[in-house]
Structure 1
Amino acid sequence: MASITLNHIDKTYDDGYHAIRDVNLDIEDGEFVILVGPSGSGKSTLLRMIVGLEDISDGELLIDGRRVNEAAPKDRNLAMVFQNYALYPHLSVYENIAFPLRLSKGSSLTEEVIDRKVRDAARVLELQDHLERKPGNLSGGQRQRVAMGRAIVREADAFLFDEPLSNLDAKLRGQMRAEISQLQRRLATTSVYVTHDQTEAMTLGDRVAVLKKGVLQQVASPRELYEQPLNLFVAGFIGSPSMNFLPVSVRQQGGQYVLSSPIGDIPVPAEKARKAEGREIVFMGLRPEFFQDAELVEDHKRPNGSEFEATLTHLEWLGHEQYGYIEFEPDPKVAELLSALAKDLDADELRPVVVTTLSAESTARPGVPTRLWVDTTRIHLFDPETGENLTRDAEAGAELTRRTAEARRRQIEAAQAKDAASRA
């Protein structure tokens, strides 16, 4: 195991394209870090720089405190797991897993040692019954486990994953996510994982590093990113359905602060509204789950929010919940800002529509005015020009990430104790 440190890492290609810009990232020994961002954000380039497949233009890369900028990939003791598995079709599962060990056979590894390492990895990955089969006769999930087995037997300092589940169907991706997470906890191996998948990023990582056009935006636990995003880009990229953004202006009415928005006037706590003072327009960020049908809000929650009336354009009923959509007409300036944000998020467009998550019991209907309740204690206000989250609580966010780190340590200890007990 080892820590990985990136100090002011830059990557500029020969044609002048600046792919990675001054990235600083400390990955702790045994930590699981996710690199995520839209297409072209630089996440795969950064991973390839760590493993040594891309040169570093500037900055310093340290593995366990040792500078490795000029070190060849084979000298970094890192194991890479690719999305296409990179298995040898003519070799059995056993020989595919043993392959990296055979390459280093000259370093005194005996057949007995190789056999033990292969069978130990097969046991961990539940591949014991498939060791004599060829990769072409395995399912996608089994092939991915073979690729991981090859990484395990090397006893590498860190695992690097390049979108390893992108070729699997949705059901199998869910299963493999759980297997990778449990395996990483049992082995406590430092892991860096590239994905564009929201669910993988939010469920797998101890921390998630969000990239935009080669620039690191925020590094934090999934929960901190979701609840305390640093800026407009992170808020819009993390979460599915994504955060709603509404242009609002702040005014006082009857002794309270009100946000005037395209879907109605929403009273908000004074401490929130004051963050937007001096700005003509700000973006209000609302997660879909911040909304509820006003008729179904429990009494103890009502003081934390405000009611307003809106007309849903259509509903999507999903069984356990339903999505209600409210369309609005932005002014030209706001439409331009939404278009710029859409490009940053790698989306065709950000439609002027608000998505609300309503209980399955809600009787709201499209085309009929509906009383909605919104939790105003959880809203975010963003500067539309700089993207800064004006209402971010940095201390609360740091506490969320600290708790995640503590939970990781406990999970590793429990997983290793369970593994030791199964061997006894």
Structure 2
Amino acid sequence: MASITLNNLVKQYGDGFPAVNDVSIDIADGEFIILVGPSGCGKSTLLRMIVGLEDITSGDLLIDGKRVNEKAPRDRNLAMVFQNYALYPHLTVFENIAFPLRLAKGRHSEAEVQRLVTEAAKTLELTDHLQRKPGNLSGGQRQRVAMGRAIVRQADAFLFDEPLSNLDAKLRGQMRSEISQMQRRLGVTSVYVTHDQTEAMTLGDRVAVLKKGELQQIASPRELYEQPVNLFVAGFIGSPSMNFLPATLEGNKLKTPVGDIEVSEEKVRVAEGKRVVLVGIRPEYFEDASMVDESKRQQGSTFTAELTHTEWLGNEQYGYIKFDPDPEVRDLLDNLAREMDADELRPQIVVTLDAASRIRGGRPAELWLDTRKIHLFDPGTGENLTRDAAAGAALTEEANAARAEEIADAREREEATKLRAS
């Protein structure tokens, strides 16, 4: 296993376009890092730079403290799992998994090849399929074969390039779970590229959010969600997306298109002197006011708004409130949508309601908002004015400690299983 260090990596093409621009990340031994962002943000290019399939224009790439910029891919001892599986259709599952071992001619005896492939197949529940051809397997099974090939190499790190994008939703969920468990069990350093934020939030110890080749924030999924550093990260992470409302400060209230929001002195201080701020509100910060007890009401603000419609999902509901922003704010939302690879950010608020709520579209509704959790953003710079960096760092430290504990537990279980087998 190995640590991977990216020091000010730059990838510039012949036309001068920086696909990756001054990215620095320290990846600890055994850590699972996710690279996420919209199309064209540089995440796949960065992965290919790590494995050696793209040249590094400037900066240093270190594996276990050793600079490897000029090393060929085969000399970096990294295993790559591709989106299209890259399996050989004429070979059996056994031979596909064994392929990298056969490639290292003379390095592995036939008995060792047999042992390594059998162990990998057992780990991935492929034992019954070893004599089958890839064409006769499901998408999920083919992906497992590709992962098996990575495991037998006994590589220092696994690199995944959108490995689940060809699978249907149900299989993606199943494979997410399997990859997560396998990574914990093996304790192998892993870098995983995806545009799917569900994968990013559920798989990664830390998630690196990229935009136009630049690293925006790297942190635990929870820190990204609760303490985003800027408008882009706040809008990109979370589904449904964070709501953004233009607001002006009057006294201790933020005047918004859907009503006045009373805020704390701390939030008043950061908004003072600014002509307009953007209020960032996650859908779950809202509740049907009729279902909020009196003691909790004091911790937020209540306002009346008319929902255009609601969507009942069984365990919860989504409600929608339209508002009419001024041209400046509309342009800001349009620019943010383009950055996030979205068609548009509609001038509407999405609210999450309890499944039992009787609020319906077309009628005024009383809503409660937990104002303790809202964020205020500078519309010019995109900076999160209310970010608590210390609280965010504590969330990531907590996640790091949990990761170390899980890896230790997984290795202990693995050793116990081997002892029982012997």
Q: TM-score, normalised by structure 1?
A: 0.98
**Residue number in structure 2 paired with 1:9:** 9
**Residue number in structure 2 paired with 1:348:** 343
Letter in 2 for 1:24: S
Distance 2:333 2:129 in 1: 52
Match of 2:291 among 286, 293, 296: 296
User: What CA deviation, in whole Å up to 9, does each residue of 1:327-380 have, x standing for no partner?
Assistant: 000011111111111111111111100000000110001111100000000000
1:236 is the counterpart of 2:228? no
Superposition pairs for residues 82-231 of structure 1, below 5 Å?
82-107=82-107, 109-231=108-230
**Residue number in structure 2 paired with 1:388:** 383
Relative to structure 1, is the Cα distance of residues 300 and 111 closer, same or farther in structure 2, using a 3 angstrom cutoff?
farther
Distance 2:320 2:352 in 1: 9
**1:421 deviation in Å?**
2.2
**1:422 deviation in Å?**
2.3
Distance 2:53 2:299 in 1: 52
**Residue number in structure 1 paired with 2:245:** 246
Q: Percent of aligned positions with the same letter in both sequences? A: 70
**Residue number in structure 2 paired with 1:19:** 19
Superposition pairs for residues 320-331 of structure 1, below 5 Å?
320-331=315-326
Distance 2:169 2:299 in 1: 37
**1:414 deviation in Å?**
1.4
**Residue number in structure 2 paired with 1:39:** 39
Letter in 1 for 2:319: G
**Residue number in structure 2 paired with 1:412:** 407
**1:198 deviation in Å?**
1.0
Q: TM-score, normalised by structure 2?
A: 0.98
Structure 2 counterpart SS, 1:7: strand
**1:193 deviation in Å?**
0.2
Structure 1 counterpart SS, 2:14: coil
1:76 is the counterpart of 2:76? yes
Structure 1 counterpart SS, 2:217: strand
Distance 1:231 1:102 in 2: 49
Superposition pairs for residues 276-287 of structure 1, below 5 Å?
276-287=271-282
User: What CA deviation, in whole Å up to 9, does each residue of 1:74-128 have, x standing for no partner?
Assistant: 0000000001000000000000000000011322x11001100000101111111
**Residue number in structure 1 paired with 2:66:** 66
**1:298 deviation in Å?**
3.1
Distance 2:113 2:222 in 1: 41
Letter in 2 for 1:21: N
**Residue number in structure 2 paired with 1:57:** 57
Distance 2:13 2:40 in 1: 14
**1:304 deviation in Å?**
1.6
Could you list the runs of 5+ residues in structure 1 that have no partner in the other structure?
A: none
Matched residue count: 419
Distance 2:366 2:31 in 1: 46
**Residue number in structure 2 paired with 1:357:** 352
Distance 1:84 1:419 in 2: 30
Letter in 2 for 1:360: A
Structure 1 counterpart SS, 2:385: coil
**1:419 deviation in Å?**
2.0
Distance 1:370 1:61 in 2: 56
User: What CA deviation, in whole Å up to 9, does each residue of 1:399-420 have, x standing for no partner?
Assistant: 0000000100111111122222
After superposing the two structures, state which structure 1 stretch, 10-19 or 30-39, moved more. Answer: 10-19
1:398 is the counterpart of 2:393? yes
User: What CA deviation, in whole Å up to 9, does each residue of 1:259-301 have, x standing for no partner?
Assistant: 1000101111111121111100000000000000000013442
Distance 2:294 2:260 in 1: 22
After superposing the two structures, state which structure 1 stretch, 299-308 or 80-89, moved more. Answer: 299-308
Structure 2 counterpart SS, 1:283: strand
Letter in 1 for 2:89: P
Distance 1:213 1:147 in 2: 30
1:307 is the counterpart of 2:306? no
Structure 2 counterpart SS, 1:324: strand
**1:303 deviation in Å?**
2.1
Structure 2 counterpart SS, 1:373: strand
Structure 2 counterpart SS, 1:168: coil
Distance 1:34 1:201 in 2: 6
Distance 2:117 2:237 in 1: 39
Instruction: State the superposition RMSD in angstroms.
Output: 0.7
Distance 1:361 1:115 in 2: 58
Letter in 2 for 1:222: P
Structure 2 counterpart SS, 1:122: helix
Letter in 2 for 1:141: G
1:266 is the counterpart of 2:261? yes
Structure 1 runs (4+) greater than 3 angstroms displaced: none
Letter in 2 for 1:194: V
Distance 2:63 2:407 in 1: 21
Distance 1:186 1:29 in 2: 14
User: What CA deviation, in whole Å up to 9, does each residue of 1:19-61 have, x standing for no partner?
Assistant: 1111011000000000000000000000000000000001000
